[in-house]
Structure 1
């Protein structure tokens, strides 16, 4: 009997508690509605100071009336669950800061939430759909392998945050004021007061709205490996490294690929190396439409896409993929309320100082959303870790954005660090710049005699590809210091790492020349460069043992 009475009392207590919670929730909703209405009724003629005081007072009222149930405080708020945000959050938490990270991914036009960047181009062909029993390619197997890999990465990232003690919230966060974040989960609104905040929302590829049919029928680089049907004949729009990487990957899988380029390939990179990369891809079978862009896309009855171009031509494709740049995800952050300035214009990004701080000294920005910063994953990671150490470990070391190495993961890669030839001439004067270079065939291509794509052959005897390797050093002739390293070769990414370290230590051309190399390798070519570009002597080797000397 006693046990039954206790059970009844417990049930009644639960009912009363739930009713009370429901009343509190409703009261909070009404409070928020009244607060928003009050803000909307403010006189537009009030000064910024008056409006700010009014908002702060209303917020204080909200704290009291809301009984502080949905208010929390953190040392460090991170908005963005990309590489830079993850690195900063985990590092700060390991340094005993109280950290919360908000991760909310806006879907692309085709509903995709995660992209893969250049990672797909580094995955093994054995795992990407090839069947070596029948020598065939299965797109669905490729798609499954890559998407499962992406999902596993996201799962491990989330676990890594939790293991580091970071509070993870899957919600869209925005600024309520200069020291407060607001977000919503289901029907409840929450506030987070912070000491420091980091915006690391990254960027997403975009499709221009002024091209008829583009938003409806085209995909982006983020969508590529989520499509259920093989891409087939593909038009890639863009001349960026992502455009070239996607095109190169599809071309290597046997698909017919055309690249539509607005102006030049790889803007901002060394012109000679960019043009070399384009020439190699063309000889491998890729078609380039230079200074020709789509103006209209229509879907035909057979589900194929008819593309009309700016030169009046038309062509039918199975897939149209845009990789013409990325846009920072800033629209919903309410940065103005936090007094954070942005660059404005077509490429709208957050203005940052040398220490990655914004116009609000307590709010920082790194990665693709920060104005003037390299759009590279390793850069964002290092910037995030460096920032966390300054904020929570008394470090005074700033992120070094000079001499950042990068690689374009095309079938033949292009790795570089430091100045391009053009940049060197602009900075120190053309008269002070020396360029040493060499073009040659690697051991593999020399032995196997790579065939040139038929449409690129000048006659029936023009069968072999031109030398695929280009090794180039940009030198300050006044002191011999190496200002730029450029490598077009197989696995250029692996080669570029070590040379980036050498350039950061002030390596000279004489240091390069004095090194005894490993033979036969492509990299040894950098240590026997003896032809200066301005000399008029040909730097193209007609026969070689890879990048080195055979005797």
Structure 2
């Protein structure tokens, strides 16, 4: 049977675009449906604008740090609309780059929603298209939990479009997105209260890392209310009123805005017509095997709409592995072990491999921990107490490094390099045999005893 496309991708985010371009390189005729801006969550409502705001939030401290090095005091004020406009312009530039890349790859982009009619047929806007293989790469979206007054709260996407800077903001949730936004807004000069249910932020990360980040955030001025048992939100004439109940009692916080930056995301699989093709899902997530294949032979899925790890580089790798296997005759599967990740908080954190808790559960007492906790040289002259934590989790039987964790400046850049060693199965002896770069914080990873 003849089809309009060899591959049709539903979703023009990072995973979808990477897959489309890789399949096109192998000679496949590819189409992409994207009803919004190209680049998906990462480019438009996530990684990129958030990281640009992280950079912006660091300047006030850099100004004060400079005084310790002999520079005169700097008086500067944030122009919020100018910052937002500059970020928007950069995102438009990136949207254009994605379009250019797809055009060069001869991938047809249809700016419309797609919906399954049958296993090989889609309704895309006012067009009906057919494809031999179809990839679902629709990503996810923030959701509003059932909290009284939740309709008065912003979702994380809306944080990038605030017309004016809030003087006071409440952030709900202990996940990395909430922690990052808490630090961003605090650094930009907003008074921040973060409300979390557990004792510590960043559940599932190494406990030492969690403690170090939380202590650092508090030291930098974020007010963290933990052990929240219940809360409610009310609209006021001047903003919102948040009432929270903890084990210590009830308190009310008045703020200009409240954000649900960290209370989870759900797959964008509604209204795709999955019921028309009987694709299996669980709580909205598309179920796939190791080859990103659904229970329907010619239908695949990658990225945040599946039940795998929700990270942009993971979606990209999943998509390319699919294209290599199906269109490039180079079979491979995504390896989910030892995936590095970073939390762009202040202080920054990054990690790869097993946490201490995971390692002990898997290997019992055959685990050795190496830690280094110090004040970096940079903070000596400004007389600041910011600290860096570095940690290695080692299998004492094999000497293999099972996990590496860091809290401190440039943690993401440093852990990216360390992740190569961990992925290759490096032993602690290999770290010890590596000459450190002095003076640097990174050298601590090869000098810990």
When the two structures are superposed, what TM-score results if normalisation uses the length of structure 1? 0.74
Alignment of 1:225-240 (within 5 A): 225-240=160-175
| 1:140 equivalent in structure 2 | 81
Q: Which has the higher contact order (CA 8 A, sep 6+)?
A: 2
CA shift in 2, pair 1:95/1:402, >3 Å: same
Which has the larger displacement, 122-131 or 380-389?
A: 122-131
Deviations 1:288-310 (A, max 9, x none): 11122663322222x32111223
| 1:117 equivalent in structure 2 | 47
2:145 is aligned with 1:214: no
Asked if structure 2 preserves the Cα contact closer than 8 Å seen for 1:211 and 1:296, the reply is yes
Report the alpha carbon displacement of residue 397 of structure 1 after superposing the two structures with TM. 1.4
Report the alpha carbon displacement of residue 118 of structure 1 after superposing the two structures with TM. 5.8
2:251 is aligned with 1:313: yes
2:257 is aligned with 1:338: no
SS at match of 1:198: strand
Paired with 2:318 and 2:300, the residues of 1 have a C-alpha distance of 11
| 1:388 equivalent in structure 2 | 323
| 1:76 equivalent in structure 2 | 7
Paired with 2:96 and 2:189, the residues of 1 have a C-alpha distance of 32
2:206 is aligned with 1:270: yes
| 1:325 equivalent in structure 2 | 264
Alignment of 1:459-474 (within 5 A): 465=385, 468-474=387-393
Asked if structure 1 preserves the Cα contact closer than 8 Å seen for 2:288 and 2:300, the reply is yes
CA shift in 2, pair 1:361/1:267, >3 Å: farther
Alignment of 1:45-194 (within 5 A): 73-105=4-36, 114-117=44-47, 119-122=49-52, 124-125=55-56, 134-185=75-126, 190-194=127-131
CA shift in 2, pair 1:133/1:290, >3 Å: closer
- The runs of 5 or more residues in structure 2 that have no matched partner are 38-42, 64-72
SS at match of 2:345: coil
CA shift in 2, pair 1:331/1:525, >3 Å: same
Indicate the structure with greater strand content.
Answer: 2
SS at match of 1:448: coil
2:195 is aligned with 1:260: yes
Asked if structure 2 preserves the Cα contact closer than 8 Å seen for 1:128 and 1:143, the reply is no
| Matched residues, number | 428
| 1:479 equivalent in structure 2 | 398
| 2:409 equivalent in structure 1 | 490
The CA RMSD over aligned residues, in Å, is 2.4
| 1:289 equivalent in structure 2 | 225
When the two structures are superposed, what TM-score results if normalisation uses the length of structure 2? 0.90
Select the structure of larger CA radius of gyration.
1
Which has the larger displacement, 435-444 or 142-151?
A: 142-151
Report the alpha carbon displacement of residue 383 of structure 1 after superposing the two structures with TM. 1.5
| 1:445 equivalent in structure 2 | 379
Deviations 1:397-421 (A, max 9, x none): 1111111110101122111111111
| 1:519 equivalent in structure 2 | 438
